[in-house]
Structures are given as C-alpha cells and as structure tokens.
C-alpha cells in the first residue's frame, strides 16, 4: 500500500470515529441528564423578599441583572414559592398588575421578571407580551430548570399552553390541544380555554398519530410524586404581615425564619431546627425587617420586637467584614447554610 493511500485510509477511519463520537453526544442531549429524581417530596420552601431592593438598583439594565441573580439563587436551592412584599407602607394601586402601559413600580417589575424567567423559553412569546420591563432579559443567564426542556428531551412531565382547538383539524369535541415545545401538538382529554399554562404528564413522547396524548396534572405533581424540582410560583404581599397570613397552604407555614444581622448566630441554633411541612424564610431590605414592621399598619408591635413574628431569628454571617450585606448576598448565604437542614427536616 503506497503512502498516500494509507494516509487516506487513516483519515477516513479517524473521521468515522469522530462522527460516531459526536452522534453519541447528541443522543445524550435528548435526556435531561442534569435532573435527578430524589423521591417524593411533600415539603415546600418559601422565600420572602421586599420589592424595595430592586428600587435601589440604578437603571433598567442593573435592575434586570439583580432579578436575574436572585432567580438563579432560587432555582439553585429548589425554592418552591417566592413572595415579593411591599415594605414601604404606602398603598399601591391594586390593579396595576393588569396594566401593560410601560410603567411598573418596583414590586410589579420584580414579579414580572421572576415569572418571565421561570417560564420555559418555548412558552414565553405566548404568555408575555412585549413590555419595557423585559427589554434586557436577553442578557440574563438562563435558569435551565428541569421543566425548561429542549424539543428532543424525553421527560415524564412538561409545561404547555392551551390552544384554540377549533383552529386545528380532527380534535375530539371534549379535548384540548396544547403547545408543549415538541414537534407535535399534545392532546388532553379536558376542555380548557386557550392561553392557559398547564403541567402535563406525558403518556407518550411521540406518536404515529397527528397528536401526542397527555394528561393535565397539578404543577406540584412532579415534585410530590418523583421529587423533580418544578420551578417556583410568585405572589405579591401588600405588607410583611400579609406574607405570613396569606399563605397558599391550608395550615400556613409551620416554620418561619427571619434573617437579620441582629439575629442569633446560626451555628448556635442549627441543631434546634424542628421538622416542618412548609418553611418560610424572610429577608429584609436595606433598612432590615425592622423597618418593614414599623411600616406595617396591621402589626401592633414595633421594629424592636420583630423577632416575635418568627419561630427562629437568625444571623447566618456573624462577624461580617462589611457594614451591610445586600439582600441578594444574604439570600445565597442563607440558603447555602440551610440547604442540608431543609433536606433533613422537611417532611
């Protein structure tokens, strides 16, 4: 065999091996390999943050970056609910959440961006009209949660948005079509109005028929049945007291934790954290939770007695080296400290 012919054979052999390797990598990407089922998880984690922390950021771009940083922290530590509360004590227009006129206060802006980022990319165009608040969201790092699935990823659950079934052929009378980011539309055996976000249990991932069959389930089902983290919900509270009293859970939060530089060092009480079903961790703004208590007309205590509102009043970073710890920094420090305890004590 001459030299040139041998070289050509070696080149073709190498090229074939490289293509085979690339093919294997592509096939791996079809599975959501970063998601691990931890087993059924009934307990929930709620974080409460004041909307005023966004007002302290200068300019729309920096405000957007701040919310993006917070959203990343929430999903890294598997937070199930985030509450944005008004710590100013100034009444706000109640219907402002329904407006899309380009004007948002800090609470609306905060909630708008958190909800946008939690939504899978293939649903955002349908659920979020063009708005000034979202101008710089393209600069943010993606959350890449388990429910932010690619088009070819096989997974037992998916998020989708209901469609107007009358616009599509051969849809059974009592069924609804859903866009779920797949190559085919999904068919569910429920009548649901168009434009509603739904969680789907995928009975199949592909079909020889026109549509894929699935079942609508509760958004908490992936977590409660298999332990998959399925993003966070966002609600607004008009005051600090509303954070505690307007819980979506039947019996409220059974473990509440307030954070402050004037709290008890976390190391001193970490072995005295009780079991819980629904934990709530509350953070203050630039002036702390004390200022939020003073501004809350529904509370009959002053800021000097704020610790009475919580089961635990903690300081997760004693002997800090700077005058203040920013709320977004305190969020990461606190959740990192509490992660192992939450997993151990949650029921």
* CATH class (in words) of the domain with range 157-226: mainly beta
Q: Is 159 helix (H, G, I), strand (E, B) or coil?
A: strand
Find out whether 39 and 226 touch, Cβ atoms under 8 Å. Answer: yes
Q: Which helix (H) or strand (E) holds 118?
A: helix 106-118
pLDDT band at 18 (very low <50, low <70, confident <90, very high): very low
Strand segments (E) across 184-227:
186-188, 197-202, 212-217
Q: Is 0.75 topped by the overall pTM?
A: yes
Give residue 15's pLDDT. Answer: 52
The ranges assigned to domains in the chain are 44-116+235-345, 157-226
pLDDT in tens, 239-279: 999 999 999 999 999 999 999 999 999 999 989 999 999 99
| Mean pLDDT of the 205-222 span | 89
Q: Which fold has domain 44-116+235-345?
A: Alpha/beta knot (3.40.1280)
Q: 138-149: b or e for each residue (b if 16 or more CB lie within 10 Å)? A: eebeebebbbbb
Task: Tell the residue number behind the tokens 């041998």, with chain if given.
Answer: 6
Q: Are strands 157-162 and 81-85 parallel, antiparallel or unpaired?
A: unpaired
Beta bridge partners of 259: 314
pLDDT in tens, 150-161: 998 989 999 999
Angle, in degrees to the nearest 10, between helices 59-76 and 106-118 = 50
């Amino acid at each position: 065999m001459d030299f040139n012919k041998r070289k050509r054979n070696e080149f073709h052999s190498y090229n074939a091996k490289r293509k085979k390797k690339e093919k294997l990598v592509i096939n791996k990407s079809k599975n959501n390999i970063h998601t691990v089922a931890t087993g059924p998880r009934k307990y929930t984690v709620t974080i409460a943050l004041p909307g005023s922390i966004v007002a302290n950021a200068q300019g729309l771009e920096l405000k957007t970056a701040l919310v993006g940083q917070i959203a990343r922290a929430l999903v890294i530590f598997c937070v199930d609910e985030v509450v944005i509360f008004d710590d100013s004590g100034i009444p706000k227009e109640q219907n402002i959440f329904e407006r899309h006129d380009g004007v948002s206060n800090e609470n609306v802006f905060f909630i708008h961006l958190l909800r946008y980022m939690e939504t899978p990319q293939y649903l955002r165009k349908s659920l979020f009209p063009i708005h000034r608040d979202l101008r710089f969201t393209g600069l943010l790092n993606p959350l890449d949660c388990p429910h932010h699935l690619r088009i070819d990823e096989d997974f037992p659950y998916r998020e989708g948005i209901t469609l107007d079934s009358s616009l599509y052929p051969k849809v059974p009378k009592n069924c609804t079509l859903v866009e779920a980011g797949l190559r085919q539309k999904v068919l569910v055996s429920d009548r649901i109005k168009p434009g509603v976000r739904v969680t789907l249990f995928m009975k199949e991932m592909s079909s020889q028929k026109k549509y894929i069959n699935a079942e609508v389930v509760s958004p908490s089902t992936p977590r409660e049945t298999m332990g998959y983290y399925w993003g966070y919900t966002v609600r607004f509270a008009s005051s600090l007291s509303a954070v505690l009293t307007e819980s979506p859970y039947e019996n409220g939060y059974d473990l509440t934790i307030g954070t402050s530089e004037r709290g008890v060092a976390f190391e001193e009480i970490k072995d005295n954290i009780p079991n819980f079903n629904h934990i709530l961790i509350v953070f203050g703004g630039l002036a702390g939770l004390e200022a939020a208590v003073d501004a809350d007309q529904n509370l009959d205590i002053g800021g000097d007695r704020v610790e009475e509102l919580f089961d635990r009043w903690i300081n997760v970073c004693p002997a800090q080296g700077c005058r203040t710890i920013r709320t977004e920094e305190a969020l990461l420090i606190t959740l990192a400290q509490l992660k192992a305890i939450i997993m151990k004590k949650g029921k």
